[in-house]
């Protein structure tokens, strides 16, 4: 997954803390600066460690990759992955966000429904969409087949045998 963090404020940002709420359909091992925190992944971006030197400039974005592995228990109901900004600080030491509430509560954010008008909104108003919280999902393909012998036995060497394959 690629998480895009954008500075919509009036000063450069010098610290951004992120959480990825790893769903049951994935497994996580530390990568790309992310560490485990319970069943979730966390990372703090600072200048030189995910943010450019001097911080994240006004009206710019940085992409933060995180690798998750689809587990063998994955199904369409457990692969919706949310990431959220849990804190941020600008060069003046300010931590407030005018259109969202950074926190580590995955259930208190408006909007952000995959594939709808509230997905990937960067200028959310905190009512229709909190732009510090966003989902992404993967499509799961799960095929199965049945192979049955149609030709009745007993069988002889070099005898053609017919099979029925049902997908």
Give me the pLDDT at residue 126, please: 67
pLDDT at 133: 83
Token pair in block for residue 42: 């966390």
Whether the Cβ atoms of residue 66 and residue 12 lie closer than 8 Å to each other? no
Q: 81: how many CB neighbours lie within 10 A of its CB?
A: 21
Nearest in space to 81 (alpha carbons), one of 147, 124, 131, 19: 19
Which segments in the chain show pLDDT lower than 70? 124-126
Give the pLDDT confidence score for residue 113 in this predicted structure. Answer: 81
Q: What pLDDT sits at residue 124?
A: 66
Rounded distance between C-alpha atoms, residue 119 and residue 85, angstroms: 16
Q: What pLDDT does 134 receive? A: 87
Sequence-ordered list of residues with C-beta below 8 angstroms from that of 123, at least 6 positions apart, any chain: 8, 99, 131
Quote the CA–CA distance of 133 and 131 in Å, as a whole number. 5
Residue 16: closest CA among 41, 40, 48, 51: 51
How is 100-141 classified by DSSP, letter by letter? ----S-TTS-----TTSTTTT-SS--SSS--TTEEEE-----
Determine the pLDDT at residue 41: 98
End-to-end CA distance of the chain: 31
């Amino acid at each position: 997954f690629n998480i895009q963090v954008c500075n919509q404020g009036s000063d450069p940002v010098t610290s951004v803390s992120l959480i990825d709420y790893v769903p049951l359909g994935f497994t996580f091992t530390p990568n790309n600066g992310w560490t485990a925190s319970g069943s979730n992944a966390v990372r703090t971006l600072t200048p030189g460690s995910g943010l450019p030197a001097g911080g994240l400039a006004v009206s710019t974005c940085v992409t933060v990759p995180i690798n998750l592995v689809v587990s063998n228990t994955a199904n369409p109901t457990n692969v919706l992955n949310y990431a959220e900004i849990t804190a941020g600080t600008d060069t003046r030491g300010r931590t407030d966000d005018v259109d969202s509430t950074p926190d580590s509560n995955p259930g208190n954010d408006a909007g952000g429904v995959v594939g709808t008008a509230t997905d990937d909104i960067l200028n959310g108003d905190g009512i229709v969409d909190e732009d510090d919280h966003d989902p992404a999902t993967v499509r799961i393909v799960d095929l199965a087949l049945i192979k049955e012998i149609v030709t009745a036995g007993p069988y002889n060497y070099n005898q053609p045998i017919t099979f029925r394959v049902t997908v």
